[in-house]
Structure 1
């Protein structure tokens, strides 16, 4: 009800000493209301069964709202909104200082996770000056420290270590109180203890979890190169022992599985074969699948299972978990989005767009509710731009031009030069998302529109956008047969690629240098092709395909447009039907059901049925029966027709790449003009 909600929200603000909210981007302010806040979002109804020392009244109700905060904290934690989660747990500690598990969960919120781990985590979260600032505060105690932690950097190894130690200190206090009670209390005394909310005995599973968390966090400032051996693997080993004793505890299963996954993050399977790399993979799979039989809608377990399956040969195994993620946590944008990792891999591009739109709606609610922890300068904002990225990728592969363009334009309202001028540190990991609109124009062959786009005023600050625009301009000019200008753009592109800062910028799992390394031979290959240097062109484009395949696994894939679409289309145009067919079949293995490669494959198969030269492709001998070829063509056409009935399908796909519009015709047109 309203009075209780207002009181709880007031407690949250006081406990976390919330800073004034940062500015929220325009696209997040569509329907702001006065009663929105971190407590109003719908993250599901999950509640952990075993949590001791949460004050209760005689009828068992939550007397201080501490349990409300604990449950919300855990839901935020599994929604990967760790900064909001840790503030919820801090509030628990102001209301229930004997809740040792809350200390441990604060520590976990500041610890490595599947998306932020290894050297990247340990190099960027070491803040020893913050530890000293709190420890040396006159009269600082556990409650003061908990309450003031909202002021300190997130995430922080020092915060994690301190709260893990506070948890163990609280465990010692609780155990001493328990021993004293056993030695002195009568039955009547026990009744009085319960009425006075005296500390309860802490459960064994909580003690064991807190001990394991202490292993992970006990060495703040550790050498990043030593962290896995010194704390990461021992933490997983400790959780394995706990899991053996408590195999039905959902949090134990989730923490244990993630501890192993962090040690093998984005490297669980060989790419692109899908073969397991680590012996940990079989154990992770066993833990998660057994736990999901008991807890099929647990957010943490479902989330991790998607990550486990996405690099495997059987991504569809996670579809049941995806159903839960789509429907049970409506305001958990990252969880709703996670299902689309599988949608892309099984070729359901419409669902990829639909559920990333749902994820963005949820995240806009979170940005209104918690602008300080979900706004553009927050850690979580990286997950929000990732939703835009995945949506655009699905739309590009699905041939949905308008929704792709609308989405990229909305993101660019915020990811502009002004943001990065004011916050240059953000450029290292956010600026690469500011080029989505350019890749959309390339995909849909909008050559004239590309040439009208202005170059950034600060090309090195906007390095990836500038390089992407040089790349796109080169492609556009080559396709318009303005070869000399295209070569000039390629030279400018190469200068940007060679800039040392390109190795310091990232787009999720790949650095910008490696992404531009793919673009370089693709651009020069297309220039060579349109210059009638056909052999050089194909050698360069094959190199680009190899470099693309060597990128780190990522969702979405590192390149917005598969190079194979250009290679296959131009091979076909030159009558190299066998290789073109192989290229399109391989692309469909990577991107099932995408209409671009399917159209290319239909053209190749059609050439096998020809009896004379047609459309630049000569008749191709084949041992396959004509009926079998025709059956495959009919099947592919049916698939493409069905795919083009998708809600956002608005672009007529007749070619695998818009660079394949018969270069001979282009030369004729240019000669007429000149």
Structure 2
């Protein structure tokens, strides 16, 4: 390995980083805003001066602050990720060179960088003389390299290279490494320039060499320290958290309380950078602790496993509960922390591999090419390490670890697998499910084994467990096997309060023809894990299906409160943002069905605030494809409550490519609003714009389980129907509306359903307006589930809109006894609504 390293060093050369490294700097990141105030040390006869570097971000030019007392909250900025740190180093060098050439300084500043790849950290510190090395509590051994006073440009670069190689080679035998590089008093401009270039090149070179030689370092914990004096603040890329210190004399985070930071922002990267790719355990995973060091309230569930560290056991339990709550990023961070506390913790490596892999809401299909390759490699390495450490674990732990090997059998795909992606995903999932089936047969009373077995079965056909029309298990699905395993587990002690079992039970039963069968178990899940937003939300899947809209609003309000706690610590740059948006979406959906306009609009505003444009502009992962379709939910609320003038007054997005779903939805809404106001010609113009916008929406844009282009297909038929209705072409209008209903019914199963306002509500309201009472009654009965016309998943029981229409039809038809039977449910629903309900759709203008 030493020979390989030496050869690599010769090939690269100091200051000669390969072009592919420079080009890769921005991969999997978005442009970082560099906000660094540089204080130039005084040279002979030159007073200290400050420069104000700036960087273009979109249409906005950001300029650094004038003094360290200025708070970074006042400056629009974006955090760095580790690949960007390399670019920052290079840009810092270029900026410093330019500054020194202009000012003719004769003194080169000292430099202090602290890089900890275990946590993906880059720190910059101000002054070596003020730097307290004792504050580095984790450093057990210091390798001290003092390269002083390179007075001329003929310094021995070969000697420096040898020292570099010696340092890298030594990392195989030390736990932590600190490297001090110190330049001062360069004699003339050319020498100063070389000193500055060398300083930054060394930093980049160290990082590059470490990047390419992980195998040498495998199994060792280490840090790499560079020291600097000219930056007036410290920067810390710690895991997914960025910290900046206004006064770096406070030292690095080991000696600086987190509440003293000037600015802090979280960035959780779904796609690993180069450093993470080459690690069996991703070093940047870091649990999101509160500033006081406290953690989330995850309830009381525990699973004792084999470890010598009680603290590692705590983090394992947290990771397991988070995985059951589908926050897999935080789960992986907890398992990573457990590994740090006990490097021989086999089940923690298992947990890491399990959390990083596919799941019910993120199957292999959701992994992009680069991410998929990286995940395959990382998960394989982690489960392989778990197997290597499994000699001393219990039999059930060994069986669980052995089963997971089938999910990640190789560190990379074979050529045949790469050419046939559907086949390898099917085979790997099936072989893992079979292996978990064997484990389940050996340990049928183990609740976690049962959970993992059911999870493996459900992941064979995610969201396709039942045939919605027949109510029978879907072809090829292992629905009944999963149901039997869950029911057996619930009969075991503790089964009724197991977060994983309860969660999977709701997902299993929600698509069945009897979702009410899951309500009792769902009740047990409410507040079982107080700070898990997703688990607090899950009972609402059944609430909605059973017409318990008030309960759904409460459940999602609790979920959002929990999510706000997580957001405050973890930030929005994570896959869990999709789950958070889902909870807002669900609350809006329940509020719309119950006629609660205020709650719906307030929730839409909260949702929009958590989906800033900067988030949607992240291309890898494709945040816009996953999240932008949540933005136009407000538009659906305005339609639901007949806010026609508000719709017309709503401006179109400035960037209609980024906000393609929003743009198309707004054109649709404006067309409906204009038609309802009798401005048919203008509505027709909006229809033309809608169709053009619809064609511009990427096929990759989704709203959970639905493609936006398919959802907008419903809108297209709806808009055609609304316009033809206002023209008096009633038969043609109703034909278009029936087409909308058919498209609505054939959207893939999702909760909330892909189309926010049931198409039958507009159709039946307009039928009733035209005196076609019997036809309208049949539509209302189907929507409410009074008969079995519709599959259970497409019924909207007890919704105030159809209850009103159903009751009105019965009264008009003289069926007063039936009407009186409906009245208690209607009155109860009307009490919750905050707007007068006079029709099932505000598009009905004549009551």
**TM class, shorter-length:** 0.7 to 0.9
The one of 627, 631, 641 aligned to 2:827: 641
SS class of match (1:205): helix
Query: C-alpha displacement at 1:206, in angstroms?
Result: 1.1
Distance in 2 of aligned mates of 1:645 and 1:366: 34
Distance in 1 of aligned mates of 2:641 and 2:825: 21
Q: For 1:2-401, list aligned pairs within 5 A.
A: 18-21=239-242, 23=265, 35-36=290-291, 39-49=294-304, 51-52=305-306, 54-55=307-308, 62=310, 65-121=311-367, 123=369, 125-128=371-374, 156-171=375-390, 174=391, 201-219=392-410, 220-221=412-413, 222-223=417-418, 224-278=421-475, 280-294=478-492, 295-369=495-569, 371=570, 375-401=571-597
Query: C-alpha displacement at 1:119, in angstroms?
Result: 2.0
Query: C-alpha displacement at 1:410, in angstroms?
Result: 1.4
Change (3 A) 1:343 1:467: same
Report Cα offsets for 1:360-409 as digits up to 9, x if no partner.
0001111223x1xxx22111111000000000011111100000000101
Change (3 A) 1:24 1:109: closer
What residue number does 2:839 align with? 655
The answer to whether the Cα contact below 8 Å between 2:556 and 2:587 also exists between their aligned partners in 1 is: yes
Change (3 A) 1:87 1:415: closer
What residue number does 2:775 align with? 579
Distance in 2 of aligned mates of 1:75 and 1:83: 12
The answer to whether the Cα contact below 8 Å between 1:114 and 1:262 also exists between their aligned partners in 2 is: yes
Q: Taking structure 2 as the reference length, what is the TM-score of the superposition? A: 0.63
Unaligned runs of 5+ in 2: 1-136, 139-220, 223-236, 243-263, 268-287, 786-794
Change (3 A) 1:376 1:341: same
The answer to whether the Cα contact below 8 Å between 1:39 and 1:72 also exists between their aligned partners in 2 is: no
Kindly indicate which of the two structures has a greater share of residues assigned to strand: 2
Deviates most, 114-123 or 96-105: 114-123
Query: C-alpha displacement at 1:120, in angstroms?
Result: 2.2
Distance in 2 of aligned mates of 1:419 and 1:249: 41
The answer to whether the Cα contact below 8 Å between 1:118 and 1:227 also exists between their aligned partners in 2 is: no
Distance in 2 of aligned mates of 1:226 and 1:263: 12
Report Cα offsets for 1:334-382 as digits up to 9, x if no partner.
000001001100001111111101000001111223x1xxx22111111
Query: C-alpha displacement at 1:69, in angstroms?
Result: 1.3
The answer to whether the Cα contact below 8 Å between 1:288 and 1:305 also exists between their aligned partners in 2 is: yes
Query: C-alpha displacement at 1:419, in angstroms?
Result: 3.8
User: In the comparison of the two structures, how many residue pairs are matched?
Assistant: 555
Report Cα offsets for 1:52-104 as digits up to 9, x if no partner.
1x116xxxxx3xx1111111111222121111111211222222222211111
Query: C-alpha displacement at 1:556, in angstroms?
Result: 0.5
Change (3 A) 1:331 1:208: same
Distance in 2 of aligned mates of 1:19 and 1:121: 20
Q: For 1:543-622, list aligned pairs within 5 A.
A: 543-589=739-785, 590-609=795-814
The answer to whether the Cα contact below 8 Å between 2:266 and 2:573 also exists between their aligned partners in 1 is: no
SS class of match (2:666): helix
Deviates most, 445-454 or 596-605: 596-605
Query: C-alpha displacement at 1:631, in angstroms?
Result: 2.4
Kindly indicate which of the two structures has a greater share of residues assigned to helix: 1
SS class of match (1:217): coil
Deviates most, 375-384 or 303-312: 375-384
Distance in 1 of aligned mates of 2:835 and 2:745: 27
Distance in 2 of aligned mates of 1:115 and 1:595: 31
What residue number does 1:530 align with? 726
Rg larger in structure: 2
The one of 674, 681, 694 aligned to 1:484: 681
Distance in 2 of aligned mates of 1:335 and 1:249: 21
Deviates most, 455-464 or 92-101: 92-101
Query: C-alpha displacement at 1:561, in angstroms?
Result: 0.5
Query: C-alpha displacement at 1:34, in angstroms?
Result: 9.5
Distance in 1 of aligned mates of 2:297 and 2:453: 26
The answer to whether the Cα contact below 8 Å between 1:518 and 1:548 also exists between their aligned partners in 2 is: yes
The one of 582, 595, 609 aligned to 1:413: 609
What residue number does 1:471 align with? 668
The answer to whether the Cα contact below 8 Å between 1:43 and 1:332 also exists between their aligned partners in 2 is: yes
The one of 578, 594, 598 aligned to 1:402: 598
Higher relative contact order structure (alpha carbons within 8 Å, sequence separation ≥ 6): 1
SS class of match (1:109): helix
